[in-house]
Amino acid sequence: MTIPEKMIYPRTGDHETVYLKNVITNPNILVGDYTMYNDFVNDPRLFEQNNVLYHYPINHDRLVIGKFCSIACGAKFLFTSANHTMSSLSTYPFPLFFEEWNLDRKDVTTAWDRKGDIVVGNDVWIGYEAAVLSGITIGNGAIIGTRSLVTRDVPPYTIVGGVPAKPIRKRFDDKTIASLTAAKWWDWPKEKIARNLDAVQSGCIEQLR
């Protein structure tokens, strides 16, 4: 199940919504099929420039986003270089200005605390202008509220919101979450998903076949 490589705009006449996978060029940004990004302020094709911030190649960290995710306008992913080190007596990034301070260029990454990859599961909805910090994992089916600041991992099928984002409630009971996790419908062939759309949209796990 793969969307056509050149399909950028999935809706006729809508140039604010893109299939994100087909506009990404950075090898350290991995996006699954059918994940969409909407931007009514900027060109959505510029997602990796406008929305993935402080993502410098020297750190080798990755943004990994699963399939069938919905990412709203202005959502941001902030990477390691935004984390000025707190282990020194000053948070000023002296190693970044190695020429000015006669420091070794190879030590430039000591200017920040390394947090690691951002990993977003499948079928995740990230709300308007939400921000996700480096090192965070967001589970399958989670919902990130508008303008939330995600500073901790988000469990699967959990709604979070606020600054910092905190759990509001689970979307389903534990049995349903376990069934969805086992079914992994997002990995099904397109034809099987199409046959089960009524069940998916009904919210009734028993109808999946």
- Per-domain boundaries in the chain: 1-79+116-171, 85-114, 174-209
- Angle among Cα 171, 143, 57 to the nearest 5 degrees reads 145
- CA-nearest of 58, 30, 52, 163 to 114 is 58
**What is the pLDDT, as a whole number, of residue 4?**
54
Is residue 84 among the annotated active site residues?
A: yes
**What is the pLDDT, as a whole number, of residue 3?**
56
Q: How many CB atoms lie within 10 A of CB 196?
A: 17
User: Across the 209 residues of the chain, what is the mean pLDDT of every consecutive 10-residue run?
Assistant: 71 96 97 98 97 95 98 97 92 94 94 94 98 98 98 98 98 94 95 92 80
Q: Are 150 and 158 in contact (CB under 8 A)?
A: no
DSSP H or E stretch at residue 201: helix 197-202
Its CATH architecture, for the domain 1-79+116-171, is 3 Solenoid (2.160)
Q: 109: Cβ–Cβ under 8 A, 6 or more apart, which residues?
A: 58, 59, 95
Q: Which of 15, 55, 60, 84 is catalytic?
A: 84
Which sign does the torsion angle of CA 192, 197, 203, 207 carry? negative
